[in-house]
Amino acid sequence: MVRSLVDLLTTHASHHPDRTAYRYLVTGDCDGEIQEISYGRLTQRSRAVAAWLQERGLAGSRAMLLYPPGPEFICGYLGCLAAGVVAVPGVPPQGRAQNHRALTRMKRLIADADAKVILGGREVITALSGMVEHLPDLADITLVVTEDIPDEAAASWREPHLTADSVAFLQYTSGSTSVPRGVMVTHGNLLDNERVITERMGHTPDAIAEYGHEMFVSWLPVYHDMGLIGPVLNTVYLGVTATLFSPLHFLQQPRRWLSAIDRYRPHTSGGPNFAYELCLKHAGPDLLDRLDLSSWKVAFNGAEPVRAATLRRFTDTFAPAGFRREALYPCYGLAEATLMVTGSTVGTPPTLLQAPENGPHAGQADAAAVSSGRPGPDVTVAIADPERHEELPEGEVGEIWVRGASVAKGYWRNALATRETFRATLTGHEGRFLRTGDLGFLRDGELFVTGRLKDLIVIDGRNHYPQDLELTAEMAHPALRPGCTAAFSVDRGDADRGDGGGGGAGVGSDLSLFGEQPVIVAEIAPDSAGEAEKIIDVVRSAIGEAHGLAVRDVVLVRPGTIPKTSSGKIQRHASRAAYLDGVLAVIDALALS
């Protein structure tokens, strides 16, 4: 009986020790340096790490993982699982610009997880060793460079006592609307969600054979649930091969992603919506002429709102390179459910629902609602009234609730939040449900995600989804960067505390002196600053016409400055705080008279 991914790794190493598990593109380029690790070698290295942890009596404790992208992280992660140690993936501090934010988050995670050891790459551990006087919490934590652990240590590895309920790792949430919390993912959760991913993405034995075990290409960060549970761990679950490279190398040159798909011809690859937009931005004739994307079977799109316009444009642009509309694969998931909850049907174009005739985007094909597919096998999705805890009729928007074996154990050392989020009861249903905090509706068994419950904007008794306002703004003028707009509301009393970082300081006489008022913060290219006044007027008019709202402020900011989570989600609460504190990186804004 398979109890964990450790058992599956052992099986694969026994049956095909020389098969490549992971191929890592060191420079992000297919013709650059490449590191490969076989299943036999992966098993040896993970057991060596596990034995080191076991010999120091660390079974059951937490280990922070701070690695640069590469195979060493995977060895460290699987080593923790093989030792019965709870892994805590983290983001290593990199560069001066990243240091403060990364260090702050790292300190918070170390303290919350009560980590006893930090596993990492040589450069990271060396850097941390020099920070002990500035980070006193590190003084009592063992720091280890796992690549220095000798292979011979694997011989002393002892199989840990694991059950389905044993915690495998803590996946800290990205904190788009709250302080990050450690989700306790058990070994049973992991196995079940890998089963769900395998079924929904069509990773059948026939597909694996057809693709010669080349199933994934991924640049996604491995410390994030989408990058870890998907491409990295489904690879171990199936015993296949994945090609990986650094998120930074993708961001520097998005064409590297498509070039790797062309070179290695995987079945599955994907990312958040913004990744497809980046590829579109860099899609010149020189790239299209040398690409063959015809093997790409599952192009998953999740972790942030999926835009119908992006799906259409990506298909139209890359069709000459063999990309098929049927490969588009919107999906939905969250860390609290390990990862995947719903996914599209492989080989079928995504379902789009046109905007209602009386809605703000009536008649606009690019504003259609995009289905995130159907629940995985043995996963229950219900749409609930968040106040009455009653199931809502089909087509009605409510909070998305989930039940199934992939739903995690709860939040680490947070009984209150666990009870509120993981122990919900729904009238007419047996068992407990996970409250996702996401809003959506079901139509013909498919899930349509509409927004976040905490981000909902209520003005004059009417509900407005920030995603709708953001889409209207982005469609109003081409200078606004896709997926880089934040809509939120401010109370008149709060808003008058500051000028929004350079935005309009006054309010039109038609607005109430009390209540909530909408604000739009949008990234534009600096070379569009000369049109700032025109852009602001166009955005105001579009939102007024489409939503019947008078916008308090439209603030234009520099590219890359709107706060986002590690998965690319807009952090509207952080954007709101920056607006109120007057610290937005403003390009220009129009003050109303």
pLDDT tens per residue, range 170-202: 999 865 445 678 999 999 999 999 999 999 999
The CATH number that applies at residue 462 is 3.30.300.30
Give the Cα-Cα-Cα angle 548, 584, 453 (nearest 5 degrees).
50
Among 392, 419, 454, residue at a domain's last position: 454
Tokens 């976040």, located at residue:
452
**Across all residues in the chain, what is the average pLDDT?**
88
DSSP secondary structure letters along 140-164 = GSEEEEGGGS-GGGGGG-------T
Q: How confident is the model at residue 510 (pLDDT cuts 50, 70, 90)?
A: very low
Higher local confidence (pLDDT), 506 or 488: 488
Q: Are residues 460 and 570 in the same domain?
A: yes
- pTM of structure: 0.82
Backbone angles phi, psi at 515, to 5 degrees: 90, -175
Please state the rounded mean pLDDT for residues 280-296.
Answer: 91
Q: Per-residue pLDDT for 588 more than 60?
A: no
Report the pLDDT value the prediction gives residue 99, as an integer from 0 to 100.
Answer: 58
Structural domain total, the chain? 2
Select from 344, 542, 548, 353 the least CA-distant residue to 462: 548
Q: Are residues 431 and 474 in the same domain?
A: no
pLDDT tens profile 383-410: 999 999 999 999 999 999 999 999 999 9
Does 385 fall in a domain? yes
Percentage of the chain modeled with pLDDT above 70: 89
Alpha-carbon span 187 to 406, nearest angstrom? 10
Q: Are residues 423 and 540 in the same domain?
A: no
Please state the rounded mean pLDDT for residues 41-66.
Answer: 96
Please state the rounded mean pLDDT for residues 145-161.
Answer: 96
Neighbours of 134 (CB within 10 A): 8
Does 117 fall in a domain? no
Q: Are residues 445 and 367 in the same domain?
A: yes
Query: Could you list the residue range(s) of the whole structural domain that residue 507 is in?
Result: 456-589
The residues facing 521 across adjacent strands are 486, 555
Does 537 fall in a domain? yes
Report the pLDDT value the prediction gives residue 385, as an integer from 0 to 100.
Answer: 95
Q: How confident is the model at residue 548 (pLDDT cuts 50, 70, 90)?
A: confident
Backbone angles phi, psi at 331, to 5 degrees: -150, 170
Q: Are residues 412 and 483 in the same domain?
A: no
Among 430, 454, 478, residue at a domain's last position: 454
Neighbours of 358 (CB within 10 A): 6
Question: Under 8 Å CB-to-CB from 330, ≥6 apart: which residues?
Answer: 300, 301, 302, 306, 311, 344, 350, 370, 371, 372, 373
Q: Are residues 535 and 509 in the same domain?
A: yes
pLDDT tens profile 435-492: 999 999 999 999 999 988 888 787 766 778 788 899 889 889 989 988 899 999 887 5
Higher local confidence (pLDDT), 514 or 216: 216
Q: How confident is the model at residue 1 (pLDDT cuts 50, 70, 90)?
A: confident
Please state the rounded mean pLDDT for residues 204-226.
Answer: 96
Q: Are residues 390 and 417 in the same domain?
A: yes
Higher local confidence (pLDDT), 223 or 197: 197
Higher local confidence (pLDDT), 573 or 512: 573
Amino acid identity, position 587: I
- In this predicted structure, which of 244-248, 306-310, 524-528, 531-535 has the lowest mean pLDDT? 524-528
Q: Are residues 467 and 446 in the same domain?
A: no
Does 88 fall in a domain? no
How many CA atoms within 13 Å lie on the side-chain side of 237?
Answer: 25
Does 299 fall in a domain? no
Report the pLDDT value the prediction gives residue 464, as an integer from 0 to 100.
Answer: 82
Q: Are residues 472 and 371 in the same domain?
A: no
Report the pLDDT value the prediction gives residue 366, as an integer from 0 to 100.
Answer: 59
Report the pLDDT value the prediction gives residue 73, as an integer from 0 to 100.
Answer: 97
Q: Are residues 496 and 435 in the same domain?
A: no
Q: How confident is the model at residue 113 (pLDDT cuts 50, 70, 90)?
A: very high
Q: Per-residue pLDDT for 504 more than 50?
A: no
Report the pLDDT value the prediction gives residue 497, as an integer from 0 to 100.
Answer: 43
Q: How confident is the model at residue 255 (pLDDT cuts 50, 70, 90)?
A: very high
Amino acid identity, position 379: V
Q: Per-residue pLDDT for 361 more than 60?
A: no
Tokens read off for 118? 């930090």
Report the pLDDT value the prediction gives residue 204, as an integer from 0 to 100.
Answer: 98
Report the pLDDT value the prediction gives residue 178, as an integer from 0 to 100.
Answer: 53
Does 198 fall in a domain? no
169 with 185: CB under 8 angstroms? Answer: yes
Q: Per-residue pLDDT for 498 more than 60?
A: no
Q: Are residues 438 and 522 in the same domain?
A: no
Among 454, 478, 501, residue at a domain's last position: 454
Percentage of the chain modeled with pLDDT above 90: 67
- In this predicted structure, which of 33-47, 178-192, 348-362 has the lowest mean pLDDT? 348-362
Q: Per-residue pLDDT for 500 more than 70?
A: no
Q: Per-residue pLDDT for 508 more than 70?
A: no
Please report which residue ranges of 391-465 form alpha helices under DSSP H. 415-422
The CATH number that applies at residue 445 is 2.30.38.10
pLDDT tens profile 314-349: 999 999 999 999 999 999 999 999 999 999 999 999
Report the pLDDT value the prediction gives residue 98, as an integer from 0 to 100.
Answer: 47
Higher local confidence (pLDDT), 129 or 31: 31
Q: Per-residue pLDDT for 78 more than 90?
A: yes
Does 312 fall in a domain? no
Q: Per-residue pLDDT for 168 more than 70?
A: yes
Produce one character per residue of 543-573: b if its CB has 16 or more CB atoms within 10 Å, e if not.
beebbebbbbbbbbbeeebbbbbbbbbbbbb
The residues facing 119 across adjacent strands are 65, 144
Does 362 fall in a domain? yes
Highest mean pLDDT among 16-20, 112-116, 222-226, 523-527: 16-20
Q: Are residues 446 and 474 in the same domain?
A: no
